[in-house]
Structure 1
C-alpha cells in the first residue's frame, strides 16, 4: 500500500496561475527529490533556482501525521493543497445593548486561510497526538455527514472541547485547526470562516439582555453558515462562563435572566451543530467549572497541559533556529533534534554542547511547569536582559537559563504578594 503525504503549497497573492498549473510546477520540481522529510518546509531560498516556480509559489510544506521519518518519494502518494493566504485580518461584529446604548464586540470573523495564522499549526508542539487526533475527528465527522450516516443511530456533534490551565495553547490550537481544515477541505468547502466568540464577554454584564444578544449573534452566524460551500468554525473561548452564570443565578447572586441566557446559548449551539458545514471549537481554563450540559455535547474532550521536557526542548529549539536564521544569534550552527541526542546517549561533545545546554533549560522549565506561552517569551527576555551584544548559541542558551531563573523568581514574588496575611 502506497503511503500518502500531504503537500501544502502557498501560492503568491499576485500569482494569476490556476491551481492545476501550480500543482504541475511543484510536482515537476519534486521529481528530483529522492526522499522527503515530513515537517520540512521549502521557502523562497530553496526555490531560487527555479524562476517560474518562485514566481508563483511562496512556500511548500510537507506535513503528514502518519510519518515520523523520511519517506521515499517514488513510494509515496503526494496529495497537493494549493492555496493563497488572506491578509485582511479580522472583521469585528459589533452589537448595541438596548438598555444602555453601549456598543460592544461580540465576535471576530476571520476569512481563512489567514496570513495571521500561517505557521501556527507547525509551531504548536505536544507530546501526545493531540493535533493529529483533532484533525482525524473533524475529517471523520464531515465524512459521516457526506455519507448520510444517521445521527440518531451514531451520535456525533462536531463539537471539540480543549481544557487546561492558561497559556497552554488551547485557543491557538483551535485557530490553527480551523486554518488547517480550510486548507485540507478546500475541495469540499472553497470558502472558510473562523468566528471567535468570547463567552465571558457575553455573560459578564447586561444579563437582562444576554438572551436577546445571543439570539442576535446566532442570527448572524446563521447568515454565514447558510452558504453550504462555506466551512464555518465557531470558537467559543472561556466556555466555563456558562457554568459560572448558571451557578450564580441558582445561588441568587445574579438575576434568573442569566439562566435563560445560558440556555439560549446551548440551544443555539444545538441548532448550529446540525449544520453539515459547521464545527464548534471550545476552550476552558477551569476544567472543573465546565457546564455539565455543555460537556455532554462535546464529542472530543482533551486536556492541554504545560509542555513536558521533550516538548519544551522542541519549542526552544525552534526559537533558537529562528533567531539564528534572522541573524540575532550568530553564527548559525545546528541545534540537534532530541532523538539525535538520545541516540548519542547525551554524550558531551563540542558540536552538541549548545544542544545539551538547551536540553537542561528545557528540563528545568518542564519541572517548574512553565506554560508554553511563557516558554516562547523567554528567548525575547534572554536577548533583551541577559545576552551579550554579540551572541553565539552557547552564550544565548546561558542567557535563556538566566531568563528562566528570573521568570521563576518573579512568579514566586507574585505568589508571595497574593498570599493573605
Structure 2
C-alpha cells in the first residue's frame, strides 16, 4: 500500500534554517559537496523523521486522515511548538539541533538513521499539519513483481478477464510513502476570507489607495500577470498553494478513486507533454505523443465538480512543486477561473473576439510562468456555454456566432497544448450538448455522480466534526468518543442510507435554520433535526 503524505511546514522555522543555520560554511559545505544542495539534505532529514513516526501507525489508522502532531511523537512525549514569531531561545534550540544532525549526516549519509528523541524535536518545530491519502500500488509494479507466471500468460489472463490464481496482495508487506513538503508564506497566511486575487483587484483605487496597490504588488511579485482589464473582468486568479483551498481535497468523497485517477491523469499528462517538448527541441517532434492537457469533468449539478477541480490544482501545486531550495518562489501554480457567461455579447462577432482576447492573454501568462518554473491551470466552469455542439447550433438555424465561438476556442486549445506548464480543466452539466471536437481533445473524461451511501456517511461525519469544533454542536462526550461510538455510527449510517443520491452541502444549514433558534445545540437534538430535514427533502423531491 502506498501513502501520499502532504506536510505543511512552519514558514517561520524553515526561514530560520535557510537564513541562519545553512549559511554556516563549515558543516554545511561538506554536506553540500557530498549530497547536493543543503536544503535538499534538510528535506531528507525531515522526511526521515516523518516516515519513522508514520511507521508506528496501523494501516487502518493511517488511511485517508489528518494526523495530529502529538500522535506522531514517540512514547506519548510532548514537543515544543514555535509560533509565528520565534524567540531567541527557540532559535538557539533549532541551531543546536541541526548542527548535530548535519554533522551526523555529513559523516555517513547512507548510514544515517534519525533517533526518536530528534523526531520529537523536529516535528513540533517544523511541521504544522500532516494529511495522509492511501492509494493502491501502481498496477504495472504489481504485475512486474509477480514472477510466478510468464508475462504472455499474465497478459492473456487480463485480456480474457480470467481471475488470477492464488494472487493475493498483502498491503502490510509493501508499505511505501510519497512525502511532499510545502508551506504557506506570511502573506498567504494573512488571507482568510478573500477568494483569489480578483476581489483585491476590484478594491484597488488607482488614485487614493496606495497601500492596497503595494500589498497586491507584493502578492504577485513572483510573476507578472499580463492580462488586459477586459480579461481581468472575465477571470478570477488564485496563486497556489493557498490557504483558501486548505483541506479542500480531504473534504471531498467520491467512489471509484476518482480523485486519485484525476490526479494521475493530470500529472502524467504534464510529464508526457514535458518529455514530448524536450524531444521537439532536439528535432524529434511527434504529434502522436502530444497531449492536449485537457480534463473534462461532467455530472449532475451540485455534485462538487468545480470544488474538485480547485482542490486538484491545490494538490498539484503541493505535490509537484515541493522545492525548498527556492524559498523566494512561494507560489508554484496560478489558477485562472473563467466565467463562461461573461464571454458572450449581444453584438455579432464580439463573443469570438472575447475568446481570442482571453486566450491570447492566457498564452502570454503561460509563457511568463514558464520562465519562473510555475505552471498554469485554467478552469472553465459550465464549458457547454462556449463549446456547444456546432451541429446542433446549425440544425436549429441559430446565429452562427455560436459556431465562431467554438471554432475560436478549439483553435486556441491547439496552440496551448505545446506548452508543458499548462493544464485546462472544464466542467459540464450537459455532456451531450458539447461539441464532439472538444470532447475528442480531452485527455480524460470523468463522471461525478450523486454521492453514494459511504460518501454521504463520511460527509456527515466531517460536517458534524466541523460544527463541534466551531462550538455549534455540543455533547457530553468528546468528538473522538462520538466517532468511535457504535450507537452514533449506526445513526449516521441510517441517515446516510435514506439520504443516498442527494447533494449534502445545504443539509446541515437547513437543519439548523429550520429546527433550532438558539445555539449551541446538543448532538442528539441535531441528529433528530437532521432526520426531519432528510424526510422533508424527500417529500419536496417527490412533489416535483
Shorter-normalised TM-score: what interval? 0.7 to 0.9
Tell me which residue corresponds to 1:251. Answer: 396
Structure 1 residue 206: Cα displacement: 4.1
1:24-35 equivalences under 5 Å are 24-25=45-46, 27-28=48-49, 31-33=52-54, 34-35=56-57
Q: TM-score, normalised by structure 1?
A: 0.80
Structure 1 residue 232: Cα displacement: 0.8
Structure 1 residue 60: Cα displacement: 1.5
Q: Would the aligned equivalents of 2:252 and 2:308 in 1 still touch at CA under 8 Å? A: yes
Distance 1:179 1:11, change over 3 A: same
2:300 equivalent to 1:170: no
SS of the aligned residue for 1:35 comes to coil
Determine the C-alpha separation between the residues in 1 that align with 2:314 and 2:462.
21
Tell me which residue corresponds to 1:40. Answer: 65
Structure 1 residue 201: Cα displacement: 2.6
2:536 equivalent to 1:406: yes
Tell me which residue corresponds to 1:83. Answer: 183
1:16-415 equivalences under 5 Å are 16=15, 17-18=17-18, 21=42, 24-25=45-46, 27-28=48-49, 31-33=52-54, 34-35=56-57, 37-43=62-68, 49-51=79-81, 53-66=123-136, 76-84=176-184, 86=188, 89-92=195-198, 95-96=229-230, 105-148=233-276, 151-154=286-289, 156-187=291-322, 191-203=332-344, 205-226=346-367, 227-228=369-370, 229-244=373-388, 246=390, 247-248=392-393, 251-254=396-399, 256-331=400-475, 332-334=478-480, 351-366=485-500, 369-371=501-503, 375-387=504-516, 391-411=521-541, 415=544
Q: Can you give the 5+ residue segments of structure 2 that lack an aligned partner in the other structure? A: 19-38, 73-77, 83-122, 138-169, 199-226, 280-284, 324-328
Q: Would the aligned equivalents of 2:7 and 2:179 in 1 still touch at CA under 8 Å? A: no
Structure 1 residue 90: Cα displacement: 1.9
Structure 1 residue 62: Cα displacement: 2.0
Whichever of the two has the greater Rg, that structure is 2
Aligned residues: 387
Determine the C-alpha separation between the residues in 2 that align with 1:217 and 1:151.
28
Structure 1 residue 262: Cα displacement: 1.8
Tell me which residue corresponds to 2:3. Answer: 5
Structure 1 residue 249: Cα displacement: 5.8
Q: TM-score, normalised by structure 2?
A: 0.64
1:346-400 deviation per Cα after TM superposition (whole angstroms, max 9, x unaligned): xxxxx4222212111111111xx312xxx12212222333258564433322111
1:89-109 deviation per Cα after TM superposition (whole angstroms, max 9, x unaligned): 42336745xxxxxx9821111
Distance 1:29 1:137, change over 3 A: closer
Q: Would the aligned equivalents of 1:22 and 1:82 in 2 still touch at CA under 8 Å? A: no
Structure 1 residue 282: Cα displacement: 0.5
Q: Would the aligned equivalents of 1:378 and 1:403 in 2 still touch at CA under 8 Å? A: yes
Structure with the largest fraction of helix: 2
RMSD: 3.3
Distance 1:219 1:4, change over 3 A: same
SS of the aligned residue for 1:90 comes to coil
SS of the aligned residue for 2:492 comes to helix
Structure 1 residue 280: Cα displacement: 0.9
Q: Can you give the 5+ residue segments of structure 1 that lack an aligned partner in the other structure? A: 97-102, 341-350, 416-421
Distance 1:319 1:293, change over 3 A: same
Q: Would the aligned equivalents of 2:5 and 2:133 in 1 still touch at CA under 8 Å? A: yes
